[in-house]
Chain A
Amino acid sequence: KQEVTQIPAALSVPEGENLVLNCSFTDSAIYNLQWFRQDPGKGLTSLLLIQSSQREQTSGRLNASLDKSSGRSTLYIAASQPGDSATYLCAVGSGSARQLTFGSGTQLTVLP
């Protein structure tokens, strides 16, 4: 059974810092890995999707990497802003429908 772990569970940084969120998974037989953002009481917003054959994806200040063989992914956020405060979820897609298995998330607080 696939298990996804995110470390740290919570992170607080001052505005402007670069930061890295970590995600690990136990079964490397995945189709893709997706990073989401969730604001309190809201739904999930897709940030980046990395196919299993890719090593990284970038969108604006966000960069996600994938090392399938070691079962790890990182989400790098450059020049953090208070508006980046949210919970970040990592999910791996597997199975015929690329159904997702989620980590428990990292709650990020960026202090002004």
Chain B
Amino acid sequence: DAGITQSPRYKITETGRQVTLMCHQTWSHSYMFWYRQDLGHGLRLIYYSAAADITDKGEVPDGYVVSRSKTENFPLTLESATRSQTSVYFCASSAGTRNTDTQYFGPGTRLTVL
């Protein structure tokens, strides 16, 4: 039971480069989410998706792009990385129906932008 996985776990990149963070879940959950965690700001929602090909912005979407062509995958792309995007990124999923909308989180990707 793999659950929800993220790759890479650690990434160092340079300002201006494109970076894609991967998220994969094996539960066929409808909903998937991307959060970033920063000291002083806690966890904040970047984007979420209700199903394949349905995505929507969260609290801090600027500088990020998402796609969801398959239910199990929800990649997050930083089109031109900036130092302010240095953070720990968490992917999460949930079944999204009443009584089963617990969100389950991946292990996180620690991204450093130099």
A residues near B, CB below 8 A? 31-32, 34, 36, 42-46, 49, 51, 89, 91, 93, 96-105
Contact = CB atoms under 8 A, between A and B. Distances in A.
Nearest to B108: A43
Interface of A is mostly: strand
B71 interface: no
Given A99-B33, A99-B58, A43 B90 contact: yes
Contacts of A99: 33, 45, 48, 58
B59 to A, nearest CB: 8
Contacts of A101: 45
B98 A46 contact: no
A98 B45 contact: no
- The binding surface of chain B is classed by DSSP as strand
B48 A97 contact: yes
A100 B45 contact: yes
Interface of B: 31, 33, 35, 42-45, 48, 50, 56, 58, 90, 92, 94, 96, 98-99, 101-108
Nearest to A100: B103
A82 B107 CA distance: 23
A89 B104 CA distance: 14
B98 A51 contact: yes
Contacts, number: 61
Given A43-B105, A44-B92, A103-B42, 19 more contacts: A32-B101, A42-B108, A43-B106, A49-B101, A49-B102, A89-B43, A91-B43, A96-B50, A97-B31, A97-B50, A97-B94, A97-B96, A98-B96, A98-B103, A99-B33, A99-B58, A100-B43, A101-B45, A102-B42
Contact of B103 (A34, A42, A103, A105): A34
B101 A98 contact: yes
Contacts of B58: 99
A3 B43 CA distance: 12
15 contacts: A32-B101, A34-B102, A36-B105, A43-B108, A93-B101, A97-B31, A97-B94, A98-B31, A98-B103, A99-B33, A99-B45, A99-B48, A100-B33, A100-B43, A100-B92
